[in-house]
């Protein structure tokens, strides 16, 4: 029968699992204590990260997204109406937008952005005089970039970007996946069902991040309940692990004290043996010494 394929992630977990098996098999509390300390680090990091995921303000994000979408629709509509009679290639495409923005930034660098364009003024690109129709078109371009609708759209966009950055703080999904996998390898007092719930929670967090990155709607009706549930799983595991840490620390300290006491006894016995041997040698020399 062919062996099952082992994934790359499972291969990466093999050294960690081997170390955990060795620690569990040994009676040395120091090795077990090291494993328990690693578990504590994983739980501390996950509790913090999951708290950040659970705090994401979906209501505020939905409001900001709605404001942005409405501002975008109003701006697009006004722009299309403004340029409706003009056969402009690529109108409103991203390349066209960047072209208009580049012209505006170039004007500002020249210092005459406030007055440009006027009749018979030279075009900033081709340096040819601008006629009335050309002036009217350039003014439309500039109004496209500077009107109140655009400023409102930019303001709404900045708000969304702020929420996006806030949603990313303290959340590293690569690190979360690694720590979850290592905890799953040794149990950590968390059942298989609880781990399944934890993984679902992480998957939801990833889906939210993707939606926010793409400015898409987010739905999570049971956010509070799920956040509280996984938090309890991790906190219960932390309580269990803290008790284990305390027990292992006491066992290690007792073991070290016993070893020191035994070493002291062995040293004392060695000294006594050397003294007895020296005394025996001295008595032997006295018996064999010639009498006067």
| Contact indicator for 23, 31 with CB cutoff of 8 Å | yes
Of 267 and 197, more confident: 197
pLDDT at position 16: 47
pLDDT at position 1: 42
Give the DSSP per-residue string, 47-87.
HHHHHHHHT--HHHHHHHHHHHHHHHHHHHHHHHHHTTTS-
- Nearest to 165, CA basis, from 218, 213, 223: 213
Average pLDDT over residues 3-27: 51
Share of the chain above pLDDT 70, in %: 80
Please give the Cα distance from 188 to 166 (Å, whole number): 30
32-84: pLDDT as tens digits: 888 889 999 999 999 999 999 999 999 999 999 999 999 999 988 888 887 77
**Residue 10 pLDDT exceeds 70:** no
pLDDT at position 2: 47
Q: What is the mean pLDDT of the chain?
A: 82
Q: Which two tokens stand for residue 197?
A: 């719930």
152-174: pLDDT as tens digits: 999 999 999 999 999 999 899 99
Helix segments in 121-222, DSSP class H: 132-146, 148-168, 173-186, 192-213
**Residue 270 pLDDT exceeds 50:** yes
pLDDT at position 89: 86
| Contact indicator for 223, 54 with CB cutoff of 8 Å | yes
């Amino acid at each position: 029968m062919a062996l099952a394929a082992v994934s790359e992630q499972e291969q990466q977990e093999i050294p960690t699992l081997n170390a955990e098996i060795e620690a569990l098999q040994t009676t040395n509390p120091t090795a077990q204590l090291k494993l328990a300390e690693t578990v504590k680090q994983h739980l501390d990091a996950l509790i913090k990260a999951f708290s950040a995921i659970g705090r994401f303000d979906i209501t505020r994000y939905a409001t900001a997204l709605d404001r942005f979408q409405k501002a975008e629709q109003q701006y697009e509509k006004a722009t299309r109406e403004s340029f409706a009679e003009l056969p402009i290639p690529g109108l409103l495409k991203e390349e066209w937008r960047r072209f208009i923005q580049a012209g505006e930034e170039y004007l500002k660098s020249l210092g005459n952005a406030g007055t440009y364009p006027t009749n018979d003024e030279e075009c900033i690109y081709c340096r040819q005089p601008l006629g009335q129709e050309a002036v009217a078109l350039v003014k439309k371009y500039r109004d496209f970039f500077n009107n109140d609708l655009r400023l409102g759209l930019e303001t709404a966009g900045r708000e969304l970007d702020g929420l996006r950055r806030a949603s990313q703080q303290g959340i590293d999904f690569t690190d979360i996946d690694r720590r979850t996998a290592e905890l799953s390898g040794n149990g950590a007092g968390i059942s298989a069902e609880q781990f399944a719930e934890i993984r679902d929670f992480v998957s939801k967090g990833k889906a939210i991040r993707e939606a926010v990155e793409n400015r898409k709607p987010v739905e999570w009706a049971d956010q509070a309940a799920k956040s509280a549930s996984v938090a309890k799983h991790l906190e219960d595991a932390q309580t269990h692990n803290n008790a284990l840490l305390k027990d292992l620390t006491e066992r290690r300290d007792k073991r070290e004290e016993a070893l020191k006491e035994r070493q002291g006894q062995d040293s004392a016995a060695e000294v006594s043996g050397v003294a007895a041997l020296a005394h025996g040698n001295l008595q032997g020399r006295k018996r064999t010494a010639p009498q006067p």
